[in-house]
Amino acid sequence: MKKVLILLSIIIVSCNSPKKEEKKTIKEWTLKEVIKIDGINPIGIALKGEELWLSDSDHNRLVQIDTTGNIIKTVNDFDRPMHIDANTTSIYVPQYGIDTVTVLTNNTRKVVPLQIELDAPAGVSTYKDELAIVDFYNNQIHYNNGNQWSSFGSEGNANGQFYYPTDVQITSNEIWVADAYNHRVQVFDKKGVFVRAIAWDQGINAATGIFVSKDEVFVTDFENDRVLIFDHKGVLKQELKDKVNKPTDMIIKENILYTLNYRQSTINAYVLESVLKK
Amino acid sequence: MKTKIIIMLILGLVSVSTIQAQKQRDDFKIQVDGLGCPFCAYGLEKKFKEFKGIKNVAIDIETGDFTFTFPSDKKLTLLQVKTQVEEAGYTPVTIKITRANGEIEVSEKEKE
């Protein structure tokens, strides 16, 4: 009987003792460096081959920098260049102030011929022979599949509608749009059909920039000084806040994530590290 | 000869005053609500570029202060400014115009 009582009390004590918190190893972006880019107020970032290019809209120019922030080259005389994009040979520059998209190849500039009348192009994306343009005041996306243009979107907050969109990215199967003042990201198929919205429940105040990598989606929360990281389905994975100040855009180069701080003229550099999480 | 000189003088005076009038500019100071990001600021700038002759445009995103100058002979009105700010997607809180001749015009809210 005594033995039974002892056994029972051991069981009870073990049941009431606090459970060991399970920890698992996950990978998170960790801030490694804040790079100063004095005199540049960056809005967009793009990789032309291995070259890092910034749009410095306040000074109407594009700037090529190295990974320590040194200016390598400056190209002037743009009119408010915003979210740029690039491939290995050319930089695509939406000129917000004069309603054109210009392609800069070496020192040659060509305007993308369009039938549509843009009203403040805020961003472009190029993917293979495809091109997409964000039309800020018309609340539309114009998409060229390599052969022809199509447009989608209108002003509003329903699915498929926009309220001042500012950035776009084409991926293999989808078109991602930073629907800035609906404070969300919308995803479309390449026919312009709405697929899903993400980030709408994260209290974002102006989702002005977007970058989609193979596994993740990076979204700038401009007013709240955050960069939010989601998986492609929209599940929040991480929030970057430390040293983030009026973020505008992001890119990954050689496994380093670069995020732009518009106001502070700095770029944050992050690396993926394994961390123990509850 | 005398008449010719007088006519020449009058013409000279008229042309000088015309040139001066063209050079004279009104100052505009607007407090704008809703200017959050550079896209907003440059959107506002873009919409005001439609007013040919606008110069010295300055926008402070943090404070919402928007200032510019405009040729006084074109007489840009409070209502035109208000409408254009709204067209750009924002709300003008106060508008103050200091005309080249020193006259000051303010929007209703500024008067309060």
B52 Cβ contact list (under 8 Å, min separation 6): none
Would the CB atoms of B39 and A97 count as touching at under 8 Å? no
**Chain A residues 149-188 with a CB less than 8 Å from chain B:** 164, 166, 180
Q: Which pairs count as long-range contacts for A197-201, CB under 8 Å and 24+ apart, including other chains?
A: A197/A159, A197/A234, A198/A230, A198/A233, A198/A234, A199/A228, A199/A230, A199/A234
Would the CB atoms of A57 and B36 count as touching at under 8 Å? no
**What's the pLDDT band for B19 if we cut at 50, 70, 90?**
very low
Interface test with A, best of B33, B35, B37 (most A CBs within 10 A): B37
B46 Cα to chain A: minimum distance (Å)? 6
Mean pLDDT, consecutive 10-residue stretches, chain A (278 aa), reads: 64 57 88 96 97 97 97 97 98 97 96 96 98 98 97 98 98 98 98 98 97 98 97 98 98 98 96 90
> Which domains, ranges and CATH numbers included, belong to chain B?
25-111 (3.30.70.100)
Task: Look at residue B85 in the predicted model and tell me its pLDDT.
Answer: 95
The DSSP symbol for A129 reads T
Task: Look at residue A126 in the predicted model and tell me its pLDDT.
Answer: 98
B39 vs A122, A205, A223: nearest CB: A122
Residue A79 contacts B where some CB pair is shorter than 8 Å: no
Would the CB atoms of A120 and B49 count as touching at under 8 Å? no
Would the CB atoms of B89 and A262 count as touching at under 8 Å? no
Task: Look at residue A110 in the predicted model and tell me its pLDDT.
Answer: 98
Of A96, A200, A19, the C-alpha closest to B49 is A96
The whole-number average pLDDT for the span B25-49 is: 93
Complex confidence, ipTM: 0.85
Task: Locate A231 and state its tokens.
Answer: 């998986």
B46 vs A41, A97, A166: nearest CB: A97
Task: Look at residue A277 in the predicted model and tell me its pLDDT.
Answer: 80
Would the CB atoms of B46 and A80 count as touching at under 8 Å? yes
**At B19, is the secondary structure helix, strand, or coil?**
helix
